[in-house]
Each structure stands twice: as structure tokens, then as C-alpha cells.
Amino acid sequence: MRILILKATPSFSKELKLLVLKENISQDKYIESRDIFKSNPKDQRLRPHKINCTKNQNIIAIDIKDTQY
């Protein structure tokens, strides 16, 4: 069984705060997308995509539902 670990990097947290302040996205949309991903990473409402990482880790990013982010 694989264990899925969700981590928000400091740069992500900073960018999220800026996007919410600028009203580009809502905190609720982010939380909704995060919770969907936690319950089912393959949910059709999300668009997961792998990110190349120099530390040779398997990192997957998801788009926030119904936004360009």
C-alpha cells in the first residue's frame, strides 16, 4: 500500500495567500480541491500532473478546481 503525503511548501503557502488576497481564487476552492485530492487523487474533477524534481522525488501538482491555478 502506498502512502500519500500532502505537503505545502513555504513558497506555495505564500503564493496561495497572495492569490486569495487578490481574489483570484477563494480559500474555499483551494480547500475543496485539496479535500477531493485527499479522498481520491484520480478524481475526474482534478487535473493532476507530475513535477520534475531535482531531489528525485515523486511530486504531483493539482489544479484548483474551476480555476486556472
Regions of the chain with pLDDT less than 50: none
pTM: 0.66
For residue 60, give the nearest of 46, 52, 51 by alpha carbon. Answer: 51
pLDDT at residue number 65: 67
DSSP code for 53: -
pLDDT of residue 14: 92
Select from 63, 38, 39 the least CA-distant residue to 49.
63
Percent helix, strand, coil in the chain, to 5, is 35, 10, 55
- Distance between CA 20 and CA 14 in Å, rounded? 10
Task: Please state whether beta strands 59-61 and 49-51 pair in parallel, antiparallel, or not at all (unpaired).
Answer: antiparallel
Q: How high is the pLDDT of residue 2? A: 67
